[in-house]
Amino acid sequence: VWAMALALNGSLETLQEKNMSLTNYTYGQSSATEVIQDHLYQLEFHGASGLISFNEQTGFVYRKPVYSWEVPAVEDSFKIVTLKVAIGLAVVVILVIVVTSVLVAFVHILNTVYENYKSIKASSSR
């Protein structure tokens, strides 16, 4: 399919030079078919199984093996850096107080909003 798409695409310009187009193509137009075949026979590309090309004598596709080469391993470009940052005791105490206050406020708001639910009433001290 890929080869036919490449051959059809490559033959567009040649067909236009001969006042032909693919939109009006019929199987009876041997001159247009020859133009497409000529472009097919000129193709050579790397497919999934190797180098793909077409032989004018047999018309069959033949595949040549793709030669592989070794690529040197790339060294890891990441570097782990450890930074030691000193945080004062006052900052830690303030953070603990703020986080605790937010959690207590959140639990209180949830209890107030959902106090009429049966499961919340069962756990309430009131």
For β-strands 44-47 and 50-54, DSSP reports them as antiparallel
Give the range among 27-31, 48-52, 58-62 with minimum mean pLDDT: 58-62
Phi, psi of 35 (to 5 degrees): -65, -45
What digits encode the pLDDT tens for the residues 71-87?
Answer: 565 565 666 667 677 77
Burial status of residue 25 (CB atoms within 10 A of its CB: 0-12, 13-18, 19 or more): middle
Per-residue model confidence (pLDDT) at position 103 = 95
More confident residue, 28 or 123: 28
What digits encode the pLDDT tens for the residues 5-16?
Answer: 888 888 888 888
Per-residue model confidence (pLDDT) at position 99 = 95
Q: How far apart are CA 49 and CA 56, in angstroms?
A: 21
Per-residue model confidence (pLDDT) at position 101 = 96
What digits encode the pLDDT tens for the residues 38-58?
Answer: 888 888 877 766 677 777 776
> Mean pLDDT across the chain, nearest whole number?
77
0.85 exceeded by the pTM?
Answer: no
